[in-house]
Amino acid sequence: MTDPFPPAHPDPLPLTDRTRVRRLPSLQTRERAALHAVLDAGLVAHVAGCVDGLPVVLPVAHARDGDRLLLHGSTGGGLLRLAAAGAPLAVAVTLLDGLVLARSLYDSSMNYRSAVVFGRATPVPDEAKLEALRALSTRLLPGRWDEVRPPTRRELAATLVLALPLDEASVKVSAGPPSDSDDPTPDLDVWAGVLPLRLVVGTPEPAPDAPATVPLPASLAAAAARVEAAAPG
Site for a copy of itself in 12-51 (CB under 8 A): 18, 22-23, 43-44, 46, 48-50
Coil/strand/helix, residue 49: strand
Q: Does 188 bind a copy of itself (CB under 8 A)?
A: yes
Q: Does 181 bind a copy of itself (CB under 8 A)?
A: no
Coil/strand/helix, residue 8: coil
Q: How far is the CB of 122 from a copy of itself (least distance, A)?
A: 17
Per-residue b/e over 162-187, b at no fewer than 16 CB within 10 Å?
bbbebebbbbbbbeeebebeeeeebe
User: Segment contacting a copy of itself (CB under 8 A): 2-10, 29-37, 63-71, 189-197?
Assistant: 189-197
Q: How far is the CB of 167 from a copy of itself (least distance, A)?
A: 15
Complex with a copy of itself: residue 7 or 58, whichever CB lies closer: 58
Among 121, 133, 163, 171, binds a copy of itself (CB under 8 A): 133
Q: Does 123 bind a copy of itself (CB under 8 A)?
A: no
CB < 8 Å & 24+ apart, contacts of 124-127: 124/70, 124/161, 124/162, 124/163, 126/156, 126/157
Complex with a copy of itself: residue 7 or 186, whichever CB lies closer: 186
Whole-angstrom CA distances from 1 to 17, 20, 80, 112, 185 are 35, 31, 33, 23, 45
* Residues in region 48-67 near a copy of itself by CB under 8 A: 48-50, 53-59, 61
CA dist 60 and 84 (Å) reads 14
